[in-house]
Structure 1
Amino acid sequence: MKHVPIFVMMTALGATTMAAAQEAGEAKGTTGAVSTLEEIVVTAQRREENLQVVPLAVTALSAETLANFRVTGMHDLSGLSPNLHIGHQGLQSTPTISLRGITSGTSQNTVDPKVGLYLDGVYIGRSVGAIFDLADIERVEVLRGPQGTLFGRNATGGAISLVTAAPAGEFGFRQDISLGNNAARRARTVIDFPALGSLAMKFSYLHDEDDGTARNLIAGNRIDLRARDPRLGQLRYAKRLGSKDVDAYQFAARFDAADSLVFDYRFDYTDSETTSNPMQILGVVGDTAALVQGIFAFQPYFGGQTNQSLKRLDRVANASSVESLTIQGHNLTVSWDAAPGLNLKSITAYREMEQDPTIQDLAASGGLRFTVQQLGALLSGDPASIAAIPTMPVGPNDSFFTLLTARETSQRQFTQELQLTLTRDAFDLVAGAFYFDEHSPAISALGIFQPVANGVVIPTPLDGVFGSGVNESIADNRSLAVYSQGTWHVNERFDVTLGARHTRDKRETDLIQAGAAGAGGLLQPGVYKKDFSNTSYAFNLAYHLSEATMAYARIASGYVSGGQLDAIPYGPEKLINYEVGLKSQLFENRLRLNAAAFYMDYKDLQIQSFQNGVLRFDNAGRAKIHGLEIEVDAVPFDGLSVGGSFGYQKVEYKKFVTAGVDIADIAQQQYTPKYDARLYGQYDFAPLASGSNAYLRLDLVGQSKAALGILQSGVREVDRVAFEKAHTLVDLRLGLKQVPAGGFRLDTSLWAHNLLDEDDVLVFSPTAINRAGSYLPGRTYGIDFTARW
């Protein structure tokens, strides 16, 4: 990346712009203590409404709220909404999202997510690359529960909607700079340009990097995968783990062609180089445990690294390369107010994602030194052969993987949505049509008990025994839907809403190569086609107890499309959600209290698992999920803001058959704590004579323990850490806002995240051979600066 020249250029541009701006007018900004809660406008029902009149469970986070919580990426949203938890599968680009007990996230190009992600109304079709950096977010909305009517398929758990800021049409400038430990450096530049007639434009740039949390003991070593597949090439192991180096750009333009016709264009581009979090071995399991322990026992002879520890390590030997990822998107939204109360909208979007070949050490075994000859001697069971193992030569770049995974993938998608919104005194109506088309090729290599000779991965006669091989597939998917949702205002207090959406999916998987493990011995390479259809519905009753309080009841269904995981077909999932809720804003807008209770009936739930080195789906059959969510925000007196949230969720499998055995009674729901809570408090001190004011903020985000695997291994030492334990993360910030400096204003703050240095397993890799995991990053701290004009 050419981030240093870009960073210098943008900083210089910012300084020049500010200098010019100082001559144009006085600085803008507000001062003084907070006295009431801000009004929050959301688009959860595909039109702008006050949060408190929307009969859905929605958490809305404004730009100011995101800044207060120091949200710099999607991972930071975890815990900010009840029953929302966001992790990743080792690779930073691929999120694991759990919302209301429904877990979403896979690197497979043929498997759809279960929590929908939307950017400015555009659906993001793949989990890989779903965590991208945006330079100018205006609002994040978390919609809990199925959104099958207005947002469509693949949103059974809910939807996360990211809304970027539109151009203001007048000059504005903002420069953010953040420095922290682990050599963290973050800079953001946002420039609003003065309007050129009816055209307004805005440009944003973000650079974000840090050196990660652990040193890689085998950094710089090369691995040659060309014998598996030439396109995977040669890769070099990363120097640091958990690191990132990201450049992100946004451009927005708004053209008011007439009083009633508006064109909005948005472009985003992200160039990302990240490394997976450090992985370490927690223990060995299964029928091969004795074999693995034998390999471990010989490592001192050859200078190998086992990475085995039940405590967080800051130095590991991981065979993980830098993951290079580029993402870009175009969005043209045309909005026409055709008549009073009638709006027609078109949203046309194209997005693409490219992931270069990358290797990830999921099993944390990349530091093992062993050869295929030594493996043969160990497998022979002959005492003489085993005794001779230490004398066998091991080259300087010979290594041994219990599990090797490498992958390259890309995706291109086109979406078109047409929408009609009608607003009348007696009723509101939203209706539309949606089309989705994607093309996503992927190639992956899997090596189990894989020797590497002089840095070269060479297929061996043991591949068929252990299930090693290469999978290559191309997913071509199309979806067409029509929907409508209307609300009848029976009287001033009572509203009735009814909606439905019909979806038809055409899915095609071209299985070009099917390695022994990937094919599972089920089907041969070929083109496999599946068609699915579904009708989702929603029914709401809302009653306004007063101007400040509303109660509602809701029944809604959701649907996740079926498909083909390599050569393994899987069916669609269906869910019905029953929900009651209360929303209130009291004491002259000083207290906001929202609550919801839900019960969900899930049919044909598909669970992703890793068995005998093979990624596969199990049909859990049926599950029941129920829970409670409470959110509170308050301004008890001027200057003090307090609040928090509480989430409770319980997942019960009623049927979960795998390998012919029903394990419903012992299966664990992954990444789903039963309880979570968040508390925050911020005090804004009285303004100084200059107009600036200091503030102190404290945030606590906690959860109960959460299983990281579906089944326990039976090895007590391993199962003891196969949970994300109950913990509370403490964040602290001390700052000074609105400090006058010439023609602009400065903000500065000192901050600390995970102040108490919580140490917990966060990522868990339950391979068939050993259990590996990555720990929660330790304490981070730094200083932020913001200049505004």
Structure 2
Amino acid sequence: MPTRKPCSQRFPTPVLFGSALLSGLLATTAHAQMRLEEVIVTAQKREQSLQDVPVAVTALTRDAIEVNNVVDVNDLSGLAPNMTVRPSAGGVNIPAFSMRGITSYGVVAGSDKQISIYLDGVYIGSPRGSIFQLPDIERLEVLRGPQGTLFGRNATGGAISIATRDPLGEFAFRQKLGIGNRDYLRSDTTIDLPSFGNLSAYFTYSKEEQDGDIDNLGAGVTWDRTGFNYGKQTSPDTLGDVDSESFFFSALWEPTDALSVSYKFDYATDEGTPTGNALVSDLYTGTLPPDGAAFLNLLAEANPDLLWNGKTTRPNAVNNAWSVNRDQEVQGHNLTVTWEISDNLLLKNTLAYREADVFQPADISGTSGWVIGDFVAMFVGLPGDTPFCYACSQSNGESEQFSNELQLTWDGDWGTVTGGVLYYDSDDESGSPRDSVNTFIFGFFPEYVVPNGNQGYSLNQAESYAAYAQAEIAITDDLDLLAGLRYTKDDKSGNFVQGTPEAPVFNKFEYDDDHVDYLIGVNYAISDAIMAYAKFSTAYVSGGSVAGFGFEPEEAESWEIGSKADFLDGRLRANLALFDVSYDNLQTAQSGANVEGAENISVLIVEGGKLEAQGAELELTALPFEGLTLSAGIGYQDVEFAEVTDEVAATVFAVGPNAFPNSSFEPTLVPEWNTTLSANYESEPLFANAYLSLGITGIWHDDIRLESNPGRAAATPFGSAEFSPATWNVNARAALKSIEFGDHWVGEIALWGRNLTDSDELNFVTNFGGFVSGTFEAERSYGIDLVLSYE
């Protein structure tokens, strides 16, 4: 068996080559030792150099996190090739990811996500409430493509791994205060405590507030929910408000050089308001029943000024009288024990518990607050001053999870083996509060008292057991064989409760299945500076049942070839990945109103057929001269349905008696081309140790399809809402850092801006058949940060 060279020997200082133009730009004798910093990632569940890892992974540096003000997963959109993130409609903090052709929601209990989120190695199961702020991000990695072997189920599109920092072990203090437009205020307070023997700790408290960017014409309406213990709530003045608090605590005990015990606790609340929903099409009555068509026509006549009439840019005001502040609480505990048994053997155990609770009434249709006119009141038999909402959600989500993962890593001369076992248990509930109205309300609210009538509630309990192993074996000095295998067993059971409190209807289910995923590949060191790899991998999303409607596991098979290369004495880095992935039994979230037999179900999972995606991802980083770093990420993806089931096609009227002319079914929320360009500059000291730090990032995507059926878009008033147009979004930050005040105090002052181009395009739409509603890019924001630190 050949002896494998350590990474430091296999990838020493890269050789110099490249075009004459590029060489002229980057070459310099004055800074011969200048090179890009090594980036450490854990994409294979162990620390490695980014350039040694045969995975398409984007590692966001501290500079990128700071310039783009990344505090939650929503802020990641566009920062990695072929990845976008958009908040789903409804205000319940569910991110809608797209990556390599797949779109991931996980909007209802009983369903899972195609793109997983990990916090300090712990999988966050429930998507509800998974958007929360973390003030101490140390490292953030975006892993693109199926990750079924090491990261397990529910990662057919990829995974996002967030790592927080450990304590410093000495006293330190940092206070950051930010102010900005729309009454923006943020305060971050961090205190590292002096170590006590082998024990060190720190904590951070953060508070952020900002007014929303859309005025609410329905402000001041009070909804009485005392019938089910939520009291009275008043519709806010603005929509898109930020009102969050978070607390983070970390402790590290290192009794010996070989043993460490880490405990981390995060707690966050959110009382912000949902983003404004607006009508983005005229009313359409062509496929509706006669009564529905007549009603919508009469409604339009009674409220002509409140229709949005096909405008698809962010409005100044909408009437979302039904929307109120959300009530979200998220917390988690993480206990990680790491034991270096020998120079070659490392044992790691991660024990974790998390829980989340979210309640959010939100206007999804953009119609709440419409007042029924006299003529329409006669039609529906209600008083003339009754507020109306065509589709409003009153969603409640409660989840808790427990997990334990035991991992063993062997690193020897002949290769590396990582193996482990995992146990995961979760309880997830979502829907309208019990003894309440349906999650989607098609009705009226006389006297502003929410009726205590129907209920629609999903309860899901899941257990998962897994065992995995992945080996990287040296065949020669330059050639490695990569192989991995994972076995997973899923047990699920649950209930969907609907009907009146006096006569509830129970839809119980049980689900039991197992699955095997595998990976096989090769890594080849073309030279000391270039590593190429090729691999085939599989992954799956667990099957299950929603409201008694079962669905099979979604499966992914992927080919990927790529290279990791450092050129020009380490001053130019080029990482390339080419991929071809097939998704089978595609799981799609659909309204039950469009599914036969599920008319009273708000959302369920429908098997959508087969999806094919091919594409390329290129990431470039260059250091043309001391202090300036230039980066570019370019993504291309060609995505199409190879097969569409009649069930999912019917949800967009592509089959059946209501089919539109020239109907088809196209992927949504997936741009064909996307680009990220960034520049970061740090000056020489201007005075004492103070220096200037400048950063700017431009994020571009081409047209993004929002409507699945082009035939329906052409035949209805969907209009320009069929696509979100190509647009640039620019973030920037300029800071004067390391301003010294005495021996230990250091200050910083910074100006920053997000969405400086003030992009106001649609980013998410909901089609109700009769009309379309949508949400929009958040308005430009800007401000100033003041930082004072004791070091």
- Normalised to the residue count of structure 2, the TM-score between the two structures is 0.87
How far apart are residue 231 of structure 1 and its match?
Answer: 5.3
**Letter of the 1:364 counterpart:** G
Segments of 5+ residues of structure 2 without an aligned counterpart are 1-30, 433-437, 595-601, 656-662
The equivalent of 1:647 in structure 2 is 635
The equivalent of 1:774 in structure 2 is 775
Structure-2 separation of matches of 1:39 and 1:546:
18
**Letter of the 1:257 counterpart:** P
Pair 1:348-2:338 in alignment: no
1:476-509: CA deviations, max 9, x gaps? 1100000011110122211111000000000111
Q: Say which SS state the counterpart of residue 196 (structure 2) adopts.
A: coil
CA contact (8 A) 2:395 2:439 kept: no
How far apart are residue 780 of structure 1 and its match?
Answer: 1.5
The equivalent of 1:36 in structure 2 is 35
**Letter of the 2:466 counterpart:** A
Structure 1 stretch 289-298 or stretch 489-498: which is displaced more? 289-298
Q: Say which SS state the counterpart of residue 573 (structure 2) adopts.
A: strand
The one of 320, 324, 329 equivalent to 1:326 is 329
How far apart are residue 685 of structure 1 and its match?
Answer: 3.0
The equivalent of 2:698 in structure 1 is 700
CA contact (8 A) 1:611 1:767 kept: no
Structure-1 separation of matches of 2:584 and 2:183:
48
The one of 355, 360, 363 equivalent to 1:361 is 363
Superposed counterparts of 1:739-750, under 5 Å: 739-742=739-742, 743-750=744-751
CA contact (8 A) 2:455 2:497 kept: no
Structure-1 separation of matches of 2:591 and 2:34:
53
How far apart are residue 690 of structure 1 and its match?
Answer: 1.8
Structure 1 stretch 93-102 or stretch 169-178: which is displaced more? 169-178
CA contact (8 A) 1:626 1:650 kept: yes
**Letter of the 2:455 counterpart:** V
Superposed counterparts of 1:319-718, under 5 Å: 319-356=322-359, 358-370=360-372, 375=376, 377-378=378-379, 393-395=383-385, 398-444=386-432, 445-458=438-451, 469-513=454-498, 525-610=506-591, 612=593, 614-659=602-647, 666-712=664-710, 713-714=712-713, 715=715, 717-718=717-718
The equivalent of 2:116 in structure 1 is 116
How far apart are residue 374 of structure 1 and its match?
Answer: 5.5
**Letter of the 2:767 counterpart:** P
Structure-1 separation of matches of 2:721 and 2:117:
31
The equivalent of 1:49 in structure 2 is 48
**Letter of the 2:581 counterpart:** M
The equivalent of 1:180 in structure 2 is 180
Q: Say which SS state the counterpart of residue 432 (structure 1) adopts.
A: strand
| Change beyond 3 A, Cα 1:273–1:51 | same
Structure 1 stretch 283-292 or stretch 502-511: which is displaced more? 283-292
Structure-2 separation of matches of 1:79 and 1:585:
24
The equivalent of 1:784 in structure 2 is 785
Structure-2 separation of matches of 1:758 and 1:74:
20
Structure 1 stretch 261-270 or stretch 683-692: which is displaced more? 683-692
**Letter of the 2:430 counterpart:** A
The equivalent of 1:293 in structure 2 is 297
Q: Say which SS state the counterpart of residue 75 (structure 1) adopts.
A: helix
Segments of 5+ residues of structure 1 without an aligned counterpart are 1-31, 380-388, 461-468
1:390-449: CA deviations, max 9, x gaps? xx8534xx2111112111120010001111111101011111100110112233224554
The equivalent of 2:256 in structure 1 is 258
| Change beyond 3 A, Cα 1:289–1:650 | farther
The equivalent of 1:152 in structure 2 is 152
The equivalent of 1:12 in structure 2 is none
Structure 1 stretch 675-684 or stretch 473-482: which is displaced more? 675-684
Structure-2 separation of matches of 1:370 and 1:447:
20
| Change beyond 3 A, Cα 1:197–1:514 | same
Q: Say which SS state the counterpart of residue 159 (structure 1) adopts.
A: strand
Q: Say which SS state the counterpart of residue 75 (structure 2) adopts.
A: helix
Q: Percent identity?
A: 32
How far apart are residue 292 of structure 1 and its match?
Answer: 1.8
CA contact (8 A) 1:218 1:317 kept: yes
CA contact (8 A) 2:394 2:440 kept: no
How far apart are residue 716 of structure 1 and its match?
Answer: 5.3
Structure 1 stretch 489-498 or stretch 733-742: which is displaced more? 733-742
Q: Say which SS state the counterpart of residue 201 (structure 1) adopts.
A: strand
The equivalent of 1:223 in structure 2 is 223
**Letter of the 1:370 counterpart:** I
**Letter of the 2:497 counterpart:** I
Structure-1 separation of matches of 2:613 and 2:133:
32
The equivalent of 1:101 in structure 2 is 101
| Change beyond 3 A, Cα 1:778–1:441 | closer
Q: Say which SS state the counterpart of residue 299 (structure 2) adopts.
A: helix
Q: Say which SS state the counterpart of residue 96 (structure 2) adopts.
A: strand
Q: Say which SS state the counterpart of residue 718 (structure 2) adopts.
A: helix
Q: Say which SS state the counterpart of residue 543 (structure 1) adopts.
A: strand
**Letter of the 2:35 counterpart:** T
**Letter of the 2:444 counterpart:** P
| Change beyond 3 A, Cα 1:638–1:167 | same
CA contact (8 A) 2:496 2:546 kept: no
**Letter of the 1:670 counterpart:** T
| Change beyond 3 A, Cα 1:637–1:569 | same
Structure-1 separation of matches of 2:648 and 2:525:
51
Q: Say which SS state the counterpart of residue 398 (structure 2) adopts.
A: strand
Superposed counterparts of 1:83-98, under 5 Å: 83-90=82-89, 91=91, 93-98=93-98
**Letter of the 1:405 counterpart:** S
Q: Say which SS state the counterpart of residue 721 (structure 1) adopts.
A: helix
**Letter of the 1:472 counterpart:** Y
How far apart are residue 280 of structure 1 and its match?
Answer: 0.6
How far apart are residue 575 of structure 1 and its match?
Answer: 0.6
**Letter of the 1:688 counterpart:** L
The equivalent of 2:598 in structure 1 is none
How far apart are residue 513 of structure 1 and its match?
Answer: 2.2
**Letter of the 1:543 counterpart:** Y
CA contact (8 A) 1:92 1:275 kept: no
Structure-2 separation of matches of 1:616 and 1:603:
18
1:608-644: CA deviations, max 9, x gaps? 2236374233322211111100001111111221111
Structure-2 separation of matches of 1:378 and 1:723:
36
- Normalised to the residue count of structure 1, the TM-score between the two structures is 0.88
CA contact (8 A) 2:580 2:613 kept: yes
**Letter of the 1:453 counterpart:** P
Q: Say which SS state the counterpart of residue 370 (structure 2) adopts.
A: coil
**Letter of the 2:142 counterpart:** V
Q: Say which SS state the counterpart of residue 93 (structure 1) adopts.
A: coil
How far apart are residue 349 of structure 1 and its match?
Answer: 0.4
| Change beyond 3 A, Cα 1:366–1:593 | same
How far apart are residue 254 of structure 1 and its match?
Answer: 0.6
Structure-1 separation of matches of 2:323 and 2:704:
27
Q: Say which SS state the counterpart of residue 477 (structure 2) adopts.
A: coil
Structure 1 stretch 554-563 or stretch 539-548: which is displaced more? 539-548
| Change beyond 3 A, Cα 1:448–1:194 | closer
CA contact (8 A) 1:610 1:766 kept: no
1:681-719: CA deviations, max 9, x gaps? 233333213222224333210001111232243445423
CA contact (8 A) 2:701 2:727 kept: yes
CA contact (8 A) 1:232 1:408 kept: no
CA contact (8 A) 1:681 1:698 kept: yes
The equivalent of 2:730 in structure 1 is 730
1:505-564: CA deviations, max 9, x gaps? 001112232589xx9xxx962321011210000112000112221000011100100111
**Letter of the 1:240 counterpart:** T
1:557-607: CA deviations, max 9, x gaps? 001001112222111111101000010112222111101000001111112
CA contact (8 A) 1:573 1:605 kept: yes
| Change beyond 3 A, Cα 1:565–1:514 | farther
